Chain A
């Protein structure tokens, strides 16, 4: 009746700040979504466990560290192990196109390059959760 989109936003890995993740989190909130923000230094296990408990539609990961080729597959595998493959996984950050291609093949829904306007991310999520 009043289905609200819920999105988990996390910043995995050990590197630096979460400015980008926070900007996206706020934009999603301002578009009417419920954003569960879990903060810095999240492991794949923590991300998937939180996504399950919070029953989110989408996991959005912000990555700068270059660990994307290990972290994303790990998240996807853990989701599978928990029968939660229906949760969509998206990522943002500096990811080379050939890696992005591989990640999409593995089942990552979307990779947003740096500087993607937040409206685009909002729109993409709205369309893909319908």
Chain B
């Protein structure tokens, strides 16, 4: 027990002194749900809160990784260090994942001011966004000024991830059938900036105009959602895009929205941790056999699930003091 504590403390101090291996190791402990990783996160917490977290989402193959690569180059030119989390889906059948986003990030692969981590969605209990948040915090404590989080904009959990960003980019490309329909309901609302990537392709102007019309209909107070055309492969449009990203952060600060979002995030996160703790407490207390026995009774209509749940709660109350 004491030994584990010592190992954790060593990892923490290494992270704070700039050790990449320690960063990577703690990320694995988090992802693998290894015991006591939360005490490392607890130690790192006071060192977090400085990073600008930017979510990037959009359809598969829309050029998100290539954009991340070029955005990072530009942020580096502006003197910022960058952390990247690239999320790809885990197969629900095999549990495996092919994480290929690095292929497009070779420009920045050897820059010591950049740290890239690929992440599979896995089947995380308590939600993928909790894990992503933990990795973000590690990069934040590690001192990265900018944290880019790439996710494929298809599933709800991916949307959840970008919700935790300060600035969210939605990437679209020309000619995806009836264009804008590819944007899932729910994704549209979370975009702070829209990017029409691959604008070297035919139809970019159409896509731009369609987005414009849709955004006009969704008109809201405050931040006017910009649309930026880019060609990620050549870097065209990247400088204006970074300018706009920076002005969005400024807007968030000036209007107090940054602080508001921070409070909301902390509340969600904190309640999430409480729920996780209760979940694992229940799992530890009641054996799989006990649960299966109850399930058996429910199947045979000897018991209903509500009463069964109550029984579990009661048994916890009885043993907790």
Contacts and interface: CB of A to CB of B under 8 A. Distances in A.
Interface in B115-147: 115-118, 120, 122
For the residues of A in contact with B, the DSSP-based class is mixed
A112 interface: no
B96 A28 contact: yes
Contact of B106 (A1, A3, A26, A46): A46
A50 B96 contact: no
B109 A34 contact: no
Interface in A39-56: 39, 45-46, 49-50, 52-55
B95 A4 contact: yes
A50 B101 CA distance: 12
B42 interface: no
B33 A1 contact: yes
Interface residues of B, number: 32
B103 A1 contact: no
Given A45-B110, A46-B109, A53-B116, A6 B96 contact: no
Contacts, number: 85
Contacts of B99: 34-37
SS of B interface (majority): mixed
Contact of B97 (A34, A52, A54, A55): A34
Contacts of B201: none
A35 B99 CA distance: 6
A32 interface: yes
Interface string A1-36: 111101000000000000000000110111111111
A46 to B, nearest CB: 5
Given A1-B35, A55-B24, A84-B21, A50 B102 contact: yes
Given A31-B96, A46-B110, A53 B20 contact: yes
B198 to A, nearest CB: 20
Interface in A48-66: 49-50, 52-55
Contacts of A1: 32-35
B91 interface: yes
A29 B97 contact: yes
A128 interface: no
A54 to B, nearest CB: 6
A4 B31 contact: yes
A53 B94 contact: no
Given A53-B24, A53-B115, A37 B98 contact: yes
A50 B122 CA distance: 21
B122 A4 contact: yes
Contact of B28 (A25, A31, A55, A82): A55
The 8 A-B pairs of least Cβ separation, nearest first, read A39-B103, A55-B24, A29-B96, A32-B95, A37-B100, A55-B28, A32-B96, A29-B98
Interface of A: 1-4, 6, 25-26, 28-39, 45-46, 49-50, 52-55, 82-84
Interface of B: 20-21, 23-25, 27-28, 31-35, 90-91, 94-100, 102-103, 106, 109-110, 115-118, 120, 122
Given A2-B32, A4-B120, A55-B24, 8 more contacts: A6-B28, A31-B94, A36-B118, A39-B100, A49-B110, A53-B115, A55-B28, A83-B21
5 contacts: A2-B33, A28-B96, A29-B97, A35-B97, A35-B98
